Amino acid sequence: MPCMTKLQFKNKWVLVTGASSGLGAEIARQLAANHGANLILLARRKDKLEQLKSELEENTGNKVRILIADLSKPTEVDQALKDILTDVQLYAAVLNAAITHFGQHRDLSWDEYETMLQTNVHAIVRMTNRITEHFENNNREGGLMIVSSMAALIPIPYQAVYSGTKSFLLGFATALRFELKNKNFSITVFTPGGIETEMTEGEKFNDLRNWLTPVSQVAKDGLNAFQKRKLTAIPGFSNRMGNLLFKIAGRKFVLKQMARIYRKSLFNR
């Protein structure tokens, strides 16, 4: 791997996208509380970001800035990047923002599909390109973590487009890392499975509860992998075993079983 020393976040500026709730908010909390990082929190919901900013500043004393942006809109992505790279000396970034559709693919409207593609793929590529260029040109130490999903490794029926977007990120980012010339900069791809967040609170997920991991544990695992500059990281024993089973038992068998389980959770409520 290109880098030898661990990332050290203390008193450094770290960007977290999708920081208003769920995994993004928890990663922000742990970066501030456990790693002493200063934070740039980016999301669409201003009220949520302001609440988290107040919480983190009061509990940790770290510096926190917020940016309001809809990452499905390229102009807002570009403005956010300009603000980030000119206002502070960025050390690291966690690109976590994403949206999904849990249900039959035919129920997804074209507008919803395009919004998902813009948010999950185009925005992340756009931000990755600019952030990578910044570190390559300045030869500064730092790192980038892209949050993909187990859906990149094991495509999930009834989350078809989401699976496709996350698979793209895995291939894109792992390949890009080996093009880097700056040996002080690394890219990590994190592939968590189901997480206990507000996104999975609905009754659609009732039959999938046992598959969900507490968000605090997922965030801890992700930051550990990021700090160690791992190329890819699958958190949790059950996820690693699931990936192994997918390879051993065969794609068709595993996906057939998953489709049955997800179909039951969706439609037999």
pLDDT tens sequence across 200-254: 455 555 555 456 778 999 999 999 999 999 999 988 767 676 667 667 777 777 7
Q: What angle do CA 240, 147, 258 make, to 5 degrees?
A: 45
State pLDDT tens for residues 56-111: 999 999 999 999 999 999 999 999 999 999 988 999 999 999 998 888 899 999 99
Identify the structural domains of the chain with CATH numbers, from first to last. 13-267 (3.40.50.720)
Instruction: Give me the torsion for CA of 50, 219, 17, 35, rounded to 10°.
Output: 70
Residue 133 has pLDDT above 60, yes or no: yes
SS3 102: coil
Handedness of CA 70, 73, 77, 80 (dihedral sign): negative
Q: What is the band of 132 on the pLDDT scale with cuts at 50, 70, 90?
A: very high
- Letter for the amino acid at 179? E
Cα gap 149→155, rounded to integer Å: 10
Q: Which residues contact 17 (CB under 8 A, 6 or more apart)?
A: 24, 42, 43, 71, 93, 94, 95, 96, 97, 127
pLDDT at position 209 is 46
SS3 67: strand
Cα gap 190→147, rounded to integer Å: 5
pLDDT at position 237 is 67
Distance in Å from the first CA to the final CA of the chain: 48
pLDDT at position 198 is 57
The full length of the chain comes to 269
- Letter for the amino acid at 204? K
149 versus 194: which is more confidently predicted?
149
pLDDT at position 1 is 44
pLDDT at position 203 is 52
174 versus 212: which is more confidently predicted?
174
Q: Is 142 left (phi over 0), alpha (psi -120 to 50) or beta?
A: left
Cα gap 1→188, rounded to integer Å: 11
Residue 144: strand pairing partners: 93, 187
Q: Comparing C-alpha atoms, which of 202, 233, 191 is closest to residue 96?
A: 191
Other residues' Cβ atoms within 10 Å of the Cβ of residue 61? 9
Percent of the chain, pLDDT > 70? 89
Helices 74-87 & 123-138 angle (0-180, nearest 10): 30
Average pLDDT along the chain = 88
